Amino acid sequence: MKKILILMSDTGGGHRAVAHAIRDAIAIRFPDQAQVEIVDGLREYTPAPFKYAPEMYPIWIAHGKATWRLSFYMTNSKLSAQSVNRTAYLTLERYFKQMLRDHEADVIVSVHLLLISPVMDALLSFKDRPPFVTVVTDLASTHLFWYDPRVDRLLVPTPPTFERGLEVGISPELMRVTGLPVSPSFADLLVPQAEARQKLGWLTDKLTVLMLGGGEGMGPLYRMARAINDQQLDIQLVVVAGKNKSLKHKLESVAWDQPTWIYPFTREMPLLMSAADMIVTKAGAASISEAITAGLPLIISDVIPGQETGNMQYIVQNGAGAYPGSPEEVGRTVAKWVAEGRDKLRERAEAARRIAVPDAAYVVADEIMQQAQRERIPTQRRNLLQTLGNLRHHLIP
């Protein structure tokens, strides 16, 4: 039984979603051959304020996008990235070493960019270490934190992320384009549109717009829904408010001009996406990957500067969607797509399917299990100790 440790943190929903997708694919592909443990390395193993990163992240994004953009680009050079990673390790060394002692593994996988270089530094302080695999969870504008040449395998989701690795000096042999892992159950639960609408109780003959704001109901979802409503279109509108109860109540209080369905946080996303014709969603990599797997053209409603800028560009450049830039423009874009008709919508849907990789989770699972078969890797620390031991043997009779 191979032990697999997946490191993530809940700074955005995508990291956990990818971790779970990998875990589920390993369980399906290698039953009774592997034990997968998922650890939030920041929340569970670092002191304040680092441990509160999952709570601080949505607040920062909601109220400080300008400072987020500044911090992303200021740290996204070789010198600054190395400096930040080294400082992080010196600050958190004993915590990450304890994490590695608590969770012995045959292979370590990181799906979070802050848990790569500092954890590698911690691993190299032991006499030997397990193989280390990085799974990149951004689709295009990847930060340098993702690209540590010391890892044993670097799995990237798209050709642009592969090219970025080459630009920063990563060996092409170290990397592989795999797609972004989506839960195997997601694709399995996709059904024909008519069947999905019947199960949900939606109207079967209306062009359907699905709106998402992420698990927390982030972004100007209410304004966008009202902007679409103002267009007075012959559609049905579906809005998922996530865990934001006040947003759900506010949406439910509106007298809508078209059939409108309001949902709280739901785990029936494959069914909802199966039933829709287009999706309005923020530029999170996990949401985008699910949408293109379902063959849905995307209207990108909101972008976190830095990592999500590339996600949006990847969709637009491949003809799978648009980025209007404001709630009012979202409404006008939906109206434009409706006016263009279903044939044009099907073209965008086909463009989305072309860049989807539905079996990415299985490809990543295979790569991880291949690494898990390897022997532990001697570190420079062990080599140094051996050299000193040999020197002592020769010098002392």
SS (H, E, C) 104-146: CCCEEEECCHHHCHHHHHHHCCCCEECCEEEECCCCCCCCHHH
Question: What is the spatial distance between Cα 67 and Cα 91, in angstroms, rounded to a whole number?
Answer: 23
Look at residue 219 in the predicted model and tell me its pLDDT: 59
Please tell me whether residue 40 adopts helix, strand or coil conformation.
Answer: strand
CB proximity list for 101: less than 8 A, separation 6 or greater: none
Note the pLDDT of residue 43. 95
Handedness of CA 171, 177, 180, 181 (dihedral sign): negative
pLDDT the model gives residue 68: 83
Q: Which of 304, 338, 312, 319 is nearest to 228 (CA)?
A: 338
Q: What is the pLDDT of residue 13?
A: 66
- Can you tell me whether residue 341 is helix, strand or coil? coil
b vs e for 93-115, b when ≥16 Cβ sit within 10 Å of the residue's Cβ?
Answer: eebbbebbeebebbbbbbbbbbb
In whole angstroms, what is the distance from residue 175 CA to residue 136 CA? 11
DSSP state for residue 231 in the 8-state scheme: T
What is the torsional sign of CA 213, 245, 187, 37?
Answer: positive
pTM over 0.85: yes
Closest to 58 in 3D by CA, of 8, 11, 17, 115: 11
**pLDDT value at residue 325:** 85
Burial class (CB in 10 A: 0-12, 13-18, 19+), 169: exposed
The rounded distance, in Å, linking the Cα atoms of 355 and 40 is: 30
What's the pLDDT at 69? 85
Ordered domains of the chain (ranges, CATH): 2-182+359-392 (3.40.50.2000), 185-355 (3.40.50.2000)
CA atoms of 189 and 73, how far apart (whole Å): 39
What is the token pair recorded at 206? 């209306």
* Weakly modelled stretches of the chain, pLDDT under 50: 217, 382, 384-397
pLDDT score for 396: 46
Q: What's the rounded Cα separation, in Å, for the pair 184 and 366? A: 14
Say if strands 377-378 and 128-129 run parallel, antiparallel, or are unpaired: antiparallel
Total Cβ atoms within 10 A of residue 392: 9
Q: What whole-number distance in Å separates Cα of residue 228 and Cα of residue 305? A: 25
Any residues with CB less than 8 A from the CB of 96 and at least 6 apart, and which? 41, 45, 89, 118, 119, 121, 122
Q: Taking Cα atoms as reference points, which of 284, 335, 274, 343 lies closest to residue 310?
A: 284
In this predicted model, what pLDDT tens digit does every residue of 271-313 receive, in sequence order? Answer: 999 999 999 999 999 999 999 999 999 999 989 888 899 999 9
> What does the block give as tokens for 270?
């494959």
